[in-house]
Amino acid sequence: MSLQPYPSHERSTMDAAPIADIQGNVVSFDGRLDNYRELAEQLGLDAAAASDSEIVICAFQRWEESCFARFTGDWAMALWSGPNRQLYLARDHAGTRTLYFAQTKNEVRWSTFLDALVQTGINRSLSEDYAARYLAQLPMRDLTPYESIHSVLPGHYLRIADGKISRHAHWSALIRETIQYKSEAEYDEHFVSLFRQAVARRTGPGAPILAELSGGMDSTSIVCMSDHMRRMNDPNAEILDTLSYFDDSEASFDERTYFSITEKIRGRVGTHIDIELRNRTFEPHDAAEGLYLIPGADNLTFRKERRFHDTVWLRGFRSILSGIGGDEVLGGVPTGLPELSDHLVFFRWIRLCREAVSWSMVDRSPLALTLARTAVHSSKTFQFQTVNNQKLPPWISTRFRPALHHAKKTLHLGLFSHWGAPSRLDNAMSWWSIMETLPHLFPLILSRPEYRYPYLDKDLVEYLFSIPRAQILRPGRRRFLMRRALAKIVPGEILERRRKAFQLHGPLTALREAADDLQGLFTNSAHVVQRGWINADELRSGLNQIARGDTRHWQGLLRAITLELWLRSSHHTPTLRTANPADALASISSTVP
C-alpha cells in the first residue's frame, strides 16, 4: 500500500505514509477528519498528537467496519484487515475524494487517480454501459469509461475477501429524523452555526485556498461567511482570494455585475476568467498535450485549462472552495410539489388544499392543475421509472435501449426499499444528482485542484434534510431559510437577486453555427458509428433540426459530439500525461493478490 502525501491542511502533515498496528491492520488515508477530537476522546487518544490515520485504525479496532459511518469529513481510504485478510475501500458521504478499483482473476488494484490504473496495463476496453448512459444522459454511478475499472460510490465501502466484492452503504441521503423548533429564529440559529462550521472546516490553516465567487447566493455566502469569521476579532485579518468566471457573449451570464458588488464590499478584487461558452470548436483535443480520461473535452478545453493553470495554479493555490450543492439542499428550485406530495400521501387534505392554493397563485395555475401535478409527482416518486424511448435521442442505437431500461431501474441505490415522505425521497434523489456533477470527478491535465464543498458538509446536509420543507422555501419565496439567516452577512443585492437558473444560449448557438461542419463528423467512419452506438443518418437529421430551431435534443446531441471527439483524441492511445506528481493531490494506491 502506498500514500502520496499532500499537505493541504494543518493536520495533513501528520499523515506521510500508510500506518499499521500490531494486529496486522494497515490503513492508507487521504483527506481530512473533521470530528477527530470527538473520535479521539472516545478512543482514548490524544487528539493533538494522533494523526487521522491513527484515529481510523483505532476506530476499526474498536468498531470494525461500522467505523466508516462515524467519520465526518472529506476522505477516502484503503484499509487492510490483517486478521481477516479483507480489504476495505471507502469514500466519505459525498465522495469528495475519488477512489477507483479494478479486479482481475488474481488481484485487486486501486488508486485515487483513474490515470494510475489506466497506465498500469489493466484492460482499457471501453465500457458500452458507460457509453449508453453517457449518450442517454443517465447517471453513471460507479461506471467509468473503462470496462474493467469502477469507482467506489460516495457514502459506501467495499469489502473484498476471497476474490469477492460486496458493496455496503455507511451513509444515506434519505434522512428519516425530523427536527422541529418552535420559532424561525431557532432554525436560523442552528443553520448559521452549522454553515459557519462547514466553512471553517474547509478554510483552516494550511495551503493557500481560493474561493469561487460566481455572483450567486451560494458562492457569495461562503466567501462572506469566511470574511465574517476572520474579521470578527481582527478587522484587518487576511481574507480569502477569489476566482470568478464570466462570459460577455451570454446575456444571462453577466456575473460581473454581481461578483463586483461583493468584491467592493470586501475591498479585494479577485481573479477573473472568461469561459467563452460560445466559442466551441467541435474539434478533437490534441492528444499530444495529454489525454483526458473522461469524455467532454474539445480542443478549446485545454486552452481554458492553460488559462487556469497560468493565472491560478502557478500562484500556489491548491484548494478551491466551491458553492456546488447550495441549490439542491437550500431550496433553490422553486417548486412545492415535494411538500404537497407529503400532504397527499399522508392524507393531510386541509393542508394540501390550503398550500396548493398558495403555490397556484405563484404562477397563476388553476388549483385543479396543481393538485393533478401533485398526484403525478407522488406517483412517480414511488415508481421505478423506466426510460421512455420517445424521450431518448432518436440516434441512440436500438441495441442500447434494453440496457438503458434496466439501468434506469437500478439507479436509485435502494432509496425505495423503505417507505418515506416524498420530500425526503426527493432530497435523496437530488443528492445523487449532485454526486454526478462535482468538478473533481473530471480531472484536468495540467493541475489537480483539491475541491472543497461547504454545502455538502455532512452535519449541515443532515440538518437541512431533516427540518420541515416549509422552512427551506415557501410559495413565491425560494431560499427562505437562507435569506433570513444570512441577511446580516451577505449583501442584500445578492440575496434578493433573481434565480441564476437560465438557458445557456452559447452552446446552442455554437451548435447551430457549426451544424454544416458537424455533418462531416458523423460519417460511417465515425467511431460512435463504427461501434454501433448511434445511427449516423438519425444524428445528421438531428443536426438539421437544430439548424431549423428545434432544440428538443440539443443536450443529447452535445453528448454524441463530445463522445466522438473524445474517442478521436484517445484513439492513438498516447502516453498519458497528468499533473506533476510533486504537485498532485494526495493519492492512495496498491495491489492485493
Q: Rounded distance, CA 371 to CA 493, Å? A: 35
Containing H/E element for 428?
helix 422-435
Q: For residues 397 and 394, give the distance between their C-alpha atoms in angstroms, rounded to a whole number.
A: 8
Place of cell 498496528: 21
Query: Which residues are annotated binding-site positions for L-glutamine?
Result: 52
**Of 467, 509, 503, 508, nearest in space to 485 by CA:** 467
Binding residues: 52
Q: Which of 86, 73, 79, 34 is nearest to 56 (CA)?
A: 79
Q: What is the DSSP letter of 151?
A: E
**Residue 317 in contact with residue 211, Cβ under 8 Å?**
no
2-4 and 209-212 beta bridge pairing: unpaired
Nearest to 20 by CA among 48, 57, 63: 57
SS (H, E, C) 190-259: HHHHHHHHHHHHCCCCECCEEEECCCCHHHHHHHHHHHHHHHCCCCCCCCCEEEEEECCCCHHHCCHHHH
Closest C-alpha among 592, 588, 591 to residue 90: 588
Q: Are 422 and 377 in contact (CB under 8 A)?
A: yes
What number of residues does the chain have?
593
By CB atoms closer than 10 A (0-12, 13-18, 19+), residue 58 is buried
Residue (of 141, 133, 127, 137) closest to 403 by Cα position: 133
Other CB atoms within 10 A of residue 89 CB: 23
Report the distance separating Cα 458 and Cα 194, nearest Å.
10
- What span, in angstroms and rounded, lies between the C-alpha atoms of 429 and 425? 6
Could you give the 3-state DSSP secondary structure of residue 73? Answer: strand
CB atoms near residue 432 (< 10 Å): 18
How many CB atoms neighbour CB 593 within 10 A? 5
Q: Cell 465501502: give the residue.
A: 157
Alpha-carbon span 218 to 223, nearest angstrom: 9
Residues 347 and 103: their CA atoms lie apart, in Å, by 49
Rounded CA separation 115/100 (Å): 10
Reported as type and span, the H/E element at residue 345 is: helix 337-345
Cell 500525461 identifies what position? 577
Picking from 212, 292, 280, 223, the residue whose alpha carbon sits closest to that of residue 246 is: 212
Three cell numbers written together for 51: 494523526
Largest CA distance in the chain: 71
**Helix, strand, or coil here: 69?**
helix
